Chains A and B, each alone.
Chain A
Amino acid sequence: MEKSIETIWKEGFLRSDALIAPKVIDLYNKKSTHIVDKFTRMFKINLIGIVAFSIFIVPISYLVKIPYLGIGMFIIMNILVMINYKLLKGLKKIDKNVNSYQYLTSFDKWMKEQITINTKIARVMYPWIFISMVAGFWFGPFGGEAPGERLVTELLIQFPDMVVVFGFPLYGLIGGFIIILLLAYFAGRIYRFDLNLVYGRVLKKLEEIITDIESLKATD
């Protein structure tokens, strides 16, 4: 061997055109499939998590003597899961035999649709959760004395002029109603915050690839 390996390496690459990067034609397909697969996986895990939590909360709420909260949460969470499971089936129907751009825009369309539907659900779900919590603490365990009624009795002793409507203090009812309205009003924002917390990175990447492909198409 006449030359050292260091010299062969340096001179070889100086002379050759071996450092031309190959075209990465399949990269967008890989990225697109990866994004959608990752989202689908996370979406499924999320649904399983919600079901597990809804099942777990029922006996726990019974044990800590607020069963109405557990039942309320169980109902709303399973409705949420059923609707989203149906949406997931729609995601699986997206045609994979199209180019990356079409595939991603179909996915993006599906995503926007599911965000719209879930925002509507959130307008009911957050107030429902609040009502379940209040009901849980107000009515207490099955068959026992309702802590809420006990509270109203004690309040009436201290404030005999307090207005009571259907067994609830009027101010309490007004306060609760305002909270429900606020939750329904801000549900969309709360849901989007929640969505970004869970899927933020994936959604950012999706947006990034679509922008990339669009700018690529524009330069063609």
Chain B
Amino acid sequence: MSSDFYTSSILPYAGIIIKICRAYTNTQEDFEDYYQEVSFQIWKSKDNFKAQSEWSTWVYRLSLNVCMTLLKKKKNNPQHFASDYLPEELTEDSKAFADESLTQLYDAIRQLSELDRGVILLYLEEKSYQEIADIIGTSANNIGVRIKRIKERLKKILDGKVN
């Protein structure tokens, strides 16, 4: 795309959008669909941005909401996603990263609840508890407690103590 809205207002935040979309998808096909849908929704809703928060915060919030909504839709209507019929080895390949530890971490994150995935992603992106709380719509104290619990659960999953 050229010097349009996508290049100026979405692409600079592509990194976080990619990280979020990866956490909610298992296949490359779904990931690309989610990424596209997030980009579309940002463009569609851009007039609703009221500058009460940073543009980046708004992008995070919207990306998480879109991914969570799509995941819910997928759970309710699994036939909708053709990628569910892909052979296991194909889906495994497409969700792998070059870094093995990162692949394992993402696999662990995908085992968390939809909301917890969002919280931990924002935490890993070094957002403050207050920023995460603002994006998720809860209190900073709640986020602190939640992150502690999520980290413990992730550690257990990565250590192989939880399936």
Interface residues, chain A, CB within 8 Å of chain B? 1, 3, 5-6, 8-9, 11-13, 15-22, 24, 26-27, 30-31, 34, 201, 208, 212, 215-216, 219
B120: shortest Cβ distance to chain A, in Å? 8
Whole-angstrom distance between the alpha carbons of A4 and B151 in the complex? Answer: 9
Whole-angstrom distance between the alpha carbons of A9 and B6 in the complex? Answer: 26
A201: shortest Cβ distance to chain B, in Å? 6
B59: shortest Cβ distance to chain A, in Å? 13
Residues of A within 8 A of B18 (CB): 18-21
A3: shortest Cβ distance to chain B, in Å? 7
Most B-side CB within 10 Å, residue of A24, A208, A212 = A24
Residues of B within 8 A of A12 (CB): 97, 99, 101-102, 105
Whole-angstrom distance between the alpha carbons of A16 and B154 in the complex? Answer: 21
Of the candidate stretches B28-36, B69-77, B78-86, the one touching chain A is B28-36
| Contact yes or no, B1 A216, CB < 8 A | yes
Q: Kindly identify which residue among A3, A6, A26, A212 contacts B36, using a CB–CB cutoff of 8 Å.
A: A26
User: How many A-B Cβ pairs are below 8 Å?
Assistant: 91
Whole-angstrom distance between the alpha carbons of A208 and B120 in the complex? Answer: 36
Residues of A within 8 A of B145 (CB): none
User: Is B155 in the interface zone, CB < 8 Å from A?
Assistant: yes
| Contact yes or no, A19 B15, CB < 8 A | yes
Known: A27-B39, A30-B40, A215-B3. A22 touches B31 (CB 8 A): yes
| Contact yes or no, A5 B36, CB < 8 A | no
Whole-angstrom distance between the alpha carbons of A19 and B158 in the complex? Answer: 23
B86: shortest Cβ distance to chain A, in Å? 17
Q: Kindly identify which residue among A1, A17, A31, A219 contacts B40, using a CB–CB cutoff of 8 Å.
A: A31
- Per DSSP, chain A at the interface is helix
| Contact yes or no, B36 A1, CB < 8 A | no
Closest to B101 in A: A8
- Name 13 interchain pairs, CB-CB below 8 A, sorted by A: A12-B102, A12-B105, A13-B15, A15-B102, A17-B98, A18-B98, A24-B35, A26-B36, A30-B40, A201-B47, A215-B2, A216-B1, A216-B4
| Contact yes or no, A212 B4, CB < 8 A | yes
Known: A18-B18, A34-B44. A27 touches B36 (CB 8 A): yes
| Contact yes or no, B151 A15, CB < 8 A | no
| Contact yes or no, A30 B36, CB < 8 A | yes
B161: shortest Cβ distance to chain A, in Å? 10
| Contact yes or no, B158 A1, CB < 8 A | yes
A182: shortest Cβ distance to chain B, in Å? 35
A181: shortest Cβ distance to chain B, in Å? 39
| Contact yes or no, A1 B1, CB < 8 A | no
B146: shortest Cβ distance to chain A, in Å? 15
| Contact yes or no, A13 B102, CB < 8 A | yes
Mask for B4-19, Cβ within 8 A of A = 1, else 0? Answer: 1110000100110111
Residues of A within 8 A of B14 (CB): 19, 21
| Contact yes or no, B5 A208, CB < 8 A | yes
B75: shortest Cβ distance to chain A, in Å? 23
| Contact yes or no, A219 B2, CB < 8 A | yes
| Contact yes or no, B11 A21, CB < 8 A | yes
